[in-house]
Structure 1
Amino acid sequence: MDRLWTDFVNSDYHDWRGGERSEDRLGNVSWQQDFLNRWQLEAPVPASNEEESAMRSFRDDLQALAIRLSNGKLFTEKDEAWLNDFMMAGEVIRQIITQDQQLGVALVPIHRHWAQVMAEVAADFAVTLVEGEGKRIRSCDNPDCRWIFYDDTRSRTQKYCDDKMCGNLMKVRRFRAKRKMHSNEEKTKT
């Protein structure tokens, strides 16, 4: 299941197959627009150099926090204060809305800028933690991937961001390493 915060964190792309290709998508104008559209957020595109720098710093720190939590570390008061600071920048008002002939209350952003987007990302991460699902935060076991994901499996044992891509790749790597080891053992016997 894709979440707002995982989509944002994974804007730092690395070739999951082990190649040298990597891409910081935060600076890509089409990525920025697609991200905003996908999550129904608003901010000026392209982001300014200062906004991009702030987003990179936020993304890297959020990624580091997610990795720490995926490794079983505790969420600290310092982490809480850091997230609260980002969420505070996202001022919202409550507004009654009608959707599918149902009345509801929505939190509507006051500002339309990248600080608001980061506040929404921080809030989505906070909701993940508050709902007791922080233990489902994972970092892909493929060391070349670096993808952060939310494990939505019933067993809570998902190791790879995608079983068909990283999962299969790692299975093939293990098979080849085992076959090479057996081949080397056979050579040493003869």
Structure 2
Amino acid sequence: MTFIRDTELVLRATVELVNTLPHTDTTGEDTMVSVDQLEDFATRHAYTGSRTHDDRELAAVRGIRNRIHELWTVERDAAVPLVNAMLRDGKALPQLVKHDGFDWHIHASDPSDALAQRILVEAAMAFVDVIRADEYARIRVCQADDCRGVYVDFSKNGSKRYCDSGNCGNRMNVNAYRRRKADAPA
């Protein structure tokens, strides 16, 4: 794959965060509404640094989701000013770090910065890699009829069409099978 491990990990976390938005989910529900849900997300994606573990932190993280989601609504060149603004607003200062079993990788914000700021900067840094690798075509929105979930196509041949959040690929394949069966002569 084109992306290094830490970029891929951040892209996967970013996809999951964006897909907590109500308009990306087949159910239309916001799935980041409690501090516990944020705790689970931050723990699973190994976000380090200071944390307040409160409703204010939750509100701040919820507040960056639409901004990050915008990266899935634009082409590569239009993403550049969005990414640059995220880096500027997050006061990004890239540095190599090594921690928690992860080898050398880049953090671009201070561990004492707010979680939402660190998530925004990490997402922007991952998109820097996507843009520089000229792989923006892998930034996609699910093609299922009833889903607007986002994903990054990590497949070798770049042929993925559906997100992983709503079992969309299986659902669309079953629908296609049923249509073929219904159209087939008896």
Normalised to the residue count of structure 2, the TM-score between the two structures is 0.70
2:65 to 59, 64, 69: 59
Q: 1:122 to 1:47 in 2, by over 3 A?
A: farther
Query: Deviations along 1:132-178, whole A, 9 cap, x unmatched?
Result: 22111121111322221111112211111249932221122123234
8 A contact 1:160–1:166 mirrored in 2: yes
Q: 1:142 to 1:93 in 2, by over 3 A?
A: closer
2:147 aligns to what? Answer: 145
| Cα distance in 1 between the residues matched to 2:99 and 2:63 | 37
SS where residue 149 of structure 1 aligns? strand
| Cα distance in 1 between the residues matched to 2:99 and 2:43 | 21
Q: Which amino acid aligns with 2:20?
A: S
Q: CA RMSD in A?
A: 3.4
| Cα distance in 2 between the residues matched to 1:177 and 1:151 | 27
2:39 aligned with 1:33: yes
SS where residue 167 of structure 2 aligns? helix
SS where residue 26 of structure 1 aligns? coil
Q: 1:94 to 1:179 in 2, by over 3 A?
A: closer
* Displacement of 1:118: 1.6
2:120 to 118, 121, 132: 118
* Gaps in structure 1 of 5+ consecutive residues: none
2:30 aligned with 1:24: yes
Q: Which amino acid aligns with 2:175?
A: R
1:159 to 147, 158, 161: 161
Alignment of 1:28-107 (within 5 A): 28-41=34-47, 42=49, 43-48=51-56, 52=59, 55-68=61-74, 73-76=75-78, 79-88=79-88, 89-92=90-93, 94=95, 97=98, 104=104, 107=107
8 A contact 2:108–2:121 mirrored in 1: no
8 A contact 1:8–1:121 mirrored in 2: no
Normalised to the residue count of structure 1, the TM-score between the two structures is 0.69
Larger radius of gyration: 1
Q: 1:27 to 1:179 in 2, by over 3 A?
A: same
* Displacement of 1:128: 2.0
Q: Which amino acid aligns with 1:87?
A: L
Q: 1:163 to 1:7 in 2, by over 3 A?
A: closer
Identity of counterpart residues, as a percentage?
21
| Cα distance in 1 between the residues matched to 2:94 and 2:177 | 55
Query: Deviations along 1:13-61, whole A, 9 cap, x unmatched?
Result: 5554xxxx33223332122112222232243222418x62x54453224
Q: Which amino acid aligns with 1:64?
A: E
* Gaps in structure 2 of 5+ consecutive residues: 1-7
* Displacement of 1:92: 4.3
Name the structure with the higher strand share.
Answer: 1
8 A contact 1:87–1:122 mirrored in 2: yes
